[in-house]
Amino acid sequence: MTRVRTDLFVSLDGYTSTTDNTPSNPMGVDWGRLTKAHTGTRTFRERVFGDTSGAGTTGVDDTYVASFFEGAGAEIMGAGMFGLHAFPDDPDWKGWWGDRPPFGTPVYVLTHTAPRPPITMEGGTTFHFRTGPIEDVLAEATEAAGGLDVRVGGGVGTARDFLRAGLVDQLHLTVAPIVLGRGTRLWDDLSGLDRTHTVTTEVAESGTIHVTFTR
Protein backbone atom coordinates (compact mmCIF):
# COMPACT_ATOMS: atom_id res chain seq x y z
CA MET A 1 0.00 0.00 0.00
CA THR A 2 1.25 3.45 -0.85
CA ARG A 3 2.36 5.52 2.10
CA VAL A 4 2.90 9.26 1.91
CA ARG A 5 6.13 10.15 3.65
CA THR A 6 8.27 13.18 4.17
CA ASP A 7 11.72 13.76 5.64
CA LEU A 8 12.72 17.08 7.13
CA PHE A 9 15.76 18.54 8.83
CA VAL A 10 15.27 20.52 12.01
CA SER A 11 17.46 22.07 14.69
CA LEU A 12 16.93 21.50 18.41
CA ASP A 13 15.12 24.83 18.55
CA GLY A 14 12.67 23.88 15.81
CA TYR A 15 14.08 25.62 12.75
CA THR A 16 13.89 23.74 9.49
CA SER A 17 15.23 25.06 6.26
CA THR A 18 16.83 28.46 6.47
CA THR A 19 15.88 32.06 5.80
CA ASP A 20 19.22 33.48 4.73
CA ASN A 21 18.92 32.16 1.19
CA THR A 22 20.29 34.09 -1.77
CA PRO A 23 20.38 33.19 -5.48
CA SER A 24 24.10 32.46 -5.21
CA ASN A 25 23.65 30.42 -2.00
CA PRO A 26 20.09 29.11 -2.37
CA MET A 27 20.14 26.96 0.76
CA GLY A 28 21.64 29.58 3.09
CA VAL A 29 24.70 29.32 5.30
CA ASP A 30 22.93 27.40 8.10
CA TRP A 31 21.86 24.61 5.77
CA GLY A 32 25.22 22.84 5.86
CA ARG A 33 25.15 22.60 9.65
CA LEU A 34 21.57 21.34 9.62
CA THR A 35 22.21 18.58 7.06
CA LYS A 36 25.80 17.67 7.93
CA ALA A 37 25.08 14.23 9.38
CA HIS A 38 22.82 13.35 6.43
CA THR A 39 25.07 14.51 3.59
CA GLY A 40 28.12 12.99 5.25
CA THR A 41 26.80 9.44 4.97
CA ARG A 42 28.17 6.91 2.54
CA THR A 43 24.74 6.35 0.97
CA PHE A 44 24.13 10.04 0.36
CA ARG A 45 27.58 10.51 -1.16
CA GLU A 46 27.02 7.58 -3.45
CA ARG A 47 23.44 8.37 -4.46
CA VAL A 48 23.73 12.14 -4.87
CA PHE A 49 27.40 12.75 -5.68
CA GLY A 50 28.07 9.45 -7.45
CA ASP A 51 30.95 8.84 -5.05
CA THR A 52 31.56 5.08 -5.16
CA SER A 53 34.80 5.22 -3.17
CA GLY A 54 33.06 3.99 -0.02
CA ALA A 55 33.82 7.25 1.79
CA GLY A 56 31.25 8.62 4.24
CA THR A 57 29.77 7.54 7.55
CA THR A 58 27.87 4.34 8.13
CA GLY A 59 25.68 3.51 11.11
CA VAL A 60 22.33 4.90 12.20
CA ASP A 61 22.38 8.05 10.06
CA ASP A 62 23.25 6.03 6.98
CA THR A 63 20.43 3.58 7.67
CA TYR A 64 17.92 6.44 7.63
CA VAL A 65 19.40 7.88 4.43
CA ALA A 66 19.18 4.47 2.77
CA SER A 67 15.53 4.19 3.84
CA PHE A 68 14.93 7.64 2.42
CA PHE A 69 16.09 6.48 -1.01
CA GLU A 70 14.24 3.17 -0.93
CA GLY A 71 10.67 2.36 -1.82
CA ALA A 72 9.57 5.65 -3.35
CA GLY A 73 7.65 5.48 -6.62
CA ALA A 74 6.91 9.17 -7.01
CA GLU A 75 8.01 12.50 -5.55
CA ILE A 76 6.20 15.77 -4.92
CA MET A 77 8.02 19.03 -4.33
CA GLY A 78 7.35 22.73 -4.17
CA ALA A 79 8.38 25.23 -6.81
CA GLY A 80 11.07 26.68 -4.53
CA MET A 81 12.76 23.33 -4.02
CA PHE A 82 12.88 22.78 -7.75
CA GLY A 83 14.31 26.28 -8.22
CA LEU A 84 11.46 28.10 -9.97
CA HIS A 85 11.69 30.98 -7.48
CA ALA A 86 15.43 31.42 -7.96
CA PHE A 87 15.26 31.10 -11.76
CA PRO A 88 11.71 32.15 -12.71
CA ASP A 89 12.57 33.34 -16.21
CA ASP A 90 14.73 30.46 -17.42
CA PRO A 91 12.56 28.04 -19.44
CA ASP A 92 15.51 25.62 -19.66
CA TRP A 93 16.04 25.32 -15.87
CA LYS A 94 16.08 21.65 -14.92
CA GLY A 95 16.58 21.76 -11.15
CA TRP A 96 19.68 21.66 -8.95
CA TRP A 97 20.57 18.02 -9.45
CA GLY A 98 22.39 17.85 -12.77
CA ASP A 99 21.55 15.62 -15.73
CA ARG A 100 20.87 12.55 -13.58
CA PRO A 101 18.78 13.56 -10.53
CA PRO A 102 18.77 11.12 -7.60
CA PHE A 103 15.00 10.56 -7.65
CA GLY A 104 14.63 8.01 -10.45
CA THR A 105 10.85 8.45 -10.42
CA PRO A 106 8.22 10.87 -11.67
CA VAL A 107 8.57 14.15 -9.74
CA TYR A 108 5.54 16.45 -9.45
CA VAL A 109 6.51 20.09 -9.00
CA LEU A 110 3.78 22.28 -7.50
CA THR A 111 3.64 25.69 -9.13
CA HIS A 112 1.24 28.59 -9.44
CA THR A 113 2.88 29.93 -12.58
CA ALA A 114 2.27 29.02 -16.21
CA PRO A 115 2.47 25.29 -16.81
CA ARG A 116 5.66 23.92 -18.34
CA PRO A 117 6.04 20.80 -20.42
CA PRO A 118 7.46 17.79 -18.59
CA ILE A 119 11.25 17.36 -18.52
CA THR A 120 12.64 13.87 -18.91
CA MET A 121 16.06 13.42 -17.29
CA GLU A 122 18.53 10.54 -17.19
CA GLY A 123 18.03 7.73 -14.69
CA GLY A 124 14.25 7.59 -14.66
CA THR A 125 13.42 11.05 -13.35
CA THR A 126 10.72 13.05 -15.13
CA PHE A 127 9.66 16.45 -13.81
CA HIS A 128 5.96 17.24 -14.18
CA PHE A 129 4.59 20.69 -13.31
CA ARG A 130 1.16 20.92 -11.70
CA THR A 131 -0.98 23.86 -10.62
CA GLY A 132 -3.90 21.95 -9.04
CA PRO A 133 -4.80 21.32 -5.38
CA ILE A 134 -2.36 19.14 -3.42
CA GLU A 135 -4.99 16.41 -3.04
CA ASP A 136 -5.28 16.09 -6.84
CA VAL A 137 -1.51 16.04 -7.32
CA LEU A 138 -1.21 13.43 -4.56
CA ALA A 139 -3.82 11.26 -6.30
CA GLU A 140 -1.87 11.45 -9.55
CA ALA A 141 1.44 10.73 -7.80
CA THR A 142 -0.10 7.78 -5.95
CA GLU A 143 -1.30 6.33 -9.24
CA ALA A 144 2.16 6.83 -10.76
CA ALA A 145 3.87 5.25 -7.75
CA GLY A 146 2.25 1.92 -8.54
CA GLY A 147 2.04 0.72 -4.95
CA LEU A 148 5.35 2.23 -3.86
CA ASP A 149 5.52 5.25 -1.55
CA VAL A 150 4.95 8.86 -2.48
CA ARG A 151 7.59 11.11 -1.01
CA VAL A 152 6.82 14.75 -0.28
CA GLY A 153 10.34 16.04 -0.73
CA GLY A 154 9.98 19.64 0.37
CA GLY A 155 10.48 22.46 0.83
CA VAL A 156 9.21 22.94 4.30
CA GLY A 157 6.19 24.96 3.21
CA THR A 158 5.05 22.16 0.93
CA ALA A 159 5.67 19.48 3.57
CA ARG A 160 3.76 21.54 6.13
CA ASP A 161 0.84 21.93 3.70
CA PHE A 162 0.61 18.14 3.41
CA LEU A 163 1.04 17.67 7.17
CA ARG A 164 -1.66 20.18 8.07
CA ALA A 165 -4.00 18.56 5.54
CA GLY A 166 -3.49 15.23 7.31
CA LEU A 167 -2.05 13.61 4.19
CA VAL A 168 1.30 12.37 5.59
CA ASP A 169 1.59 8.80 6.89
CA GLN A 170 5.23 9.02 7.97
CA LEU A 171 7.18 12.10 9.00
CA HIS A 172 10.85 11.53 9.68
CA LEU A 173 12.79 14.33 11.35
CA THR A 174 16.57 14.49 11.34
CA VAL A 175 17.17 16.66 14.39
CA ALA A 176 20.65 18.22 14.35
CA PRO A 177 22.04 18.86 17.86
CA ILE A 178 22.46 22.57 17.15
CA VAL A 179 20.62 25.75 18.14
CA LEU A 180 20.11 27.79 14.97
CA GLY A 181 18.14 30.70 16.36
CA ARG A 182 16.78 31.64 12.94
CA GLY A 183 15.01 30.03 10.01
CA THR A 184 11.61 28.68 9.14
CA ARG A 185 9.72 27.29 12.12
CA LEU A 186 8.62 23.68 11.70
CA TRP A 187 6.17 23.18 14.50
CA ASP A 188 3.52 25.90 14.21
CA ASP A 189 0.04 24.42 13.71
CA LEU A 190 1.22 20.82 14.06
CA SER A 191 0.05 20.19 17.64
CA GLY A 192 -1.80 16.91 17.92
CA LEU A 193 0.49 15.12 15.48
CA ASP A 194 1.61 12.88 18.35
CA ARG A 195 -2.03 11.85 18.88
CA THR A 196 -2.71 10.80 15.28
CA HIS A 197 0.73 9.22 14.81
CA THR A 198 3.03 6.98 16.84
CA VAL A 199 6.33 8.65 17.76
CA THR A 200 9.65 6.83 17.88
CA THR A 201 13.05 8.30 18.73
CA GLU A 202 16.61 7.19 18.15
CA VAL A 203 20.04 8.77 18.49
CA ALA A 204 22.80 8.21 15.94
CA GLU A 205 26.54 8.01 16.53
CA SER A 206 26.78 11.60 15.28
CA GLY A 207 24.51 12.81 18.09
CA THR A 208 21.76 13.43 15.57
CA ILE A 209 18.28 12.60 16.87
CA HIS A 210 15.90 10.78 14.55
CA VAL A 211 12.20 11.30 15.35
CA THR A 212 9.64 9.38 13.32
CA PHE A 213 5.86 9.92 13.34
CA THR A 214 4.04 6.96 11.77
CA ARG A 215 0.41 6.00 11.34
Binding site for its own copies (CB under 8 A): 12-14, 177-182, 186-187, 190-194, 199-203, 207-209, 211
In angstroms, give the least distance from the CB of 179 to its own copies.
5
Kindly state the smallest distance separating residue 199's Cβ from its own copies, in Å. 4
Which is closer to its own copies, CB of 86 or CB of 193? 193
The helix, strand and coil proportions of the chain, stated in percent and rounded to the nearest 5, come to 25, 30, 45
Q: 133 or 207: whose CB is closer to its own copies?
A: 207
CB of 195 to its own copies, least distance (A): 8
Min separation Cβ 28 and its own copies, Å: 15
Q: Exposed, middle or buried by CB within 10 Å (0-12, 13-18, 19+), for 49?
A: middle
Residues 6+ apart with CB under 8 A from 150: 2, 3, 4, 5, 72, 73, 74, 75, 76, 138, 141, 142
Q: Closer to its own copies by CB, 112 or 195: give it.
A: 195
Q: Are 24 and 189 in contact (CB under 8 A)?
A: no
Separation between Cα atoms, residue 105 and residue 68, nearest integer Å: 13
Residue closer to its own copies by CB (options 135, 205) is 205
